[in-house]
Amino acid sequence: MGTNKSQDDASGVVVLEEGRADHLLAKMRHHIEEDGPERPVLEHLLPQVDEGRLRLPVISGTLTRVMELTGSEDADIGELTYAVEMDPPLAAKVVGLANTAALRGGEAVTSVHEALMRMGLREARNLVVAVAMRSGVFEVPGSAERVQELWEHSVASALCCQSLLAERPPWQDAGFLLGLVHDIGRIAVMSFIEESGRRSRRLRRLDADARRAAEDILHAELGAVAVGSWNFPEAFVQALRLHHEPDDAVEPDVDLVWSLYAADTLAHLRQRGWEPGSSEELDARVVALLEPLGLPLDVCGHLIREMEGGLAALGKIG
């Protein structure tokens, strides 16, 4: 499990171990010298990173327990039901979502146990993690539209990553959660800009392009720090850090990193309307993307259907 921090759960301030943020610091200093539109964000954040104290998204005790159950081969619906029922707002959302048109399989359900039993263990785990993550982590005041866009991409990536890792032990049960959190560093950047903008006119005046540029530069490293602060496995930390640089992955994490990279890319391509055979240029890109995983291009039709079906159920969670 990750051990890179100590954290005050109330404040979300993570204290990094010495050297943990060296790569992030080097990247920030390089881009400050480049003097791009994201420079104000980097200059404001740099002192916090340099001091080894960062304010990052915090997960609830309920979500921690649910994720422990998600990673346990021995967990059952009863344990998952109990964990959800300990959080009444989460329980209400799970029951409500189970009764939507996308998931409803018959008569309306009235309890958490009924809702989860209807879906089966894997789907139930995914639903509970998604609902808890959406309501507890994917929130940034004043940025509802951008957060929703990010959420839908994260769900699509989660569904795709789940399929890609389904037969790749020991990660066969890790794909959904990994894909769901892979861009959590973007939430950290957005939250930092929102909070610091209250005190900095320079940050308040940033346009959307500058904000997105800051996300692009920082999110992989900040996401890795965030999931480390949640005590996720070190392999998850490395997968988030390298999900745009999969060639840097080393064993035993290569399958995990490449699957996440492929899922992220395919989710973006699906959102742009790509399908196998629709573009020779993009087809060639996807062939190269899937080659390290030993998968053919025609698997993408199934992956796209998986994403679209899951988005109908999970993409609009509020």
Chain Cα centroid distance, residue 107? 33
Contact indicator for 115, 96 with CB cutoff of 8 Å: no
Q: Name the domain boundary from 106, 136, 166.
A: 136
| Res 105: pLDDT | 64
Quick one: 176 and 242 in the same domain? yes
Does residue 226 sit within a domain?
A: yes
Burial label for 160, CB within 10 Å (0-12, 13-18, 19+), is: buried
Quick one: 109 and 177 in the same domain? no
Q: Of all helices (H) and strands (E), which one includes residue 14?
A: strand 13-16
Name the residue type at position 99: N
| Res 189: pLDDT | 94
| Res 77: pLDDT | 86
Contact indicator for 266, 303 with CB cutoff of 8 Å: yes
Quick one: 185 and 306 in the same domain? yes
Does residue 48 sit within a domain?
A: no
Cα distances from 273 to residues 2, 43, 89, 151, 304, in angstroms, run 37, 37, 36, 18, 10
- Please count the structural domains in the chain: 2
Quick one: 183 and 307 in the same domain? yes
| Number of neighbours of residue 261 by Cβ within 10 angstroms | 24
Quick one: 221 and 305 in the same domain? yes
Coil, strand or helix: which one is 187? Answer: helix
Q: Name the domain boundary from 87, 102, 136.
A: 136
- The CATH number of whichever domain residue 283 belongs to comes to 1.10.3210.10
Quick one: 171 and 264 in the same domain? yes
Does residue 211 sit within a domain?
A: yes
Quick one: 299 and 175 in the same domain? yes
| Res 104: pLDDT | 61
Instruction: Using alpha carbons only, give the angle 299, 308, 276 rounded to the nearest 5 degrees.
Output: 35
Does residue 28 sit within a domain?
A: no
Q: What average pLDDT values come out for the chain (318 residues) when binned by 10 residues?
A: 45 70 88 92 90 84 81 78 91 87 71 87 87 91 93 98 94 93 96 86 87 94 90 93 95 94 97 94 95 95 94 86
| Range of the structural domain that residue 289 is part of | 155-314
Quick one: 120 and 161 in the same domain? no
CA–CA dist 108, 8 (Å, integer): 41
Nearest CA to 178 out of 289, 244, 257 is that of 257
pTM assigned to the model: 0.90
Q: What is the 3-state secondary structure (H, E, C) of 19-86?
A: CCCHHHHHHHHHHHHHCCCCHHHHHHHHHHHHHCEEECCCCCHHHHHHHHHHCCCCCCHHHHHHHHHC
| Res 103: pLDDT | 66
Instruction: Using alpha carbons only, give the angle 35, 39, 45 rounded to the nearest 5 degrees.
Output: 145
Contact indicator for 214, 189 with CB cutoff of 8 Å: yes
Contact indicator for 223, 182 with CB cutoff of 8 Å: yes
Contact indicator for 194, 296 with CB cutoff of 8 Å: no
Nearest CA to 261 out of 277, 282, 246 is that of 246
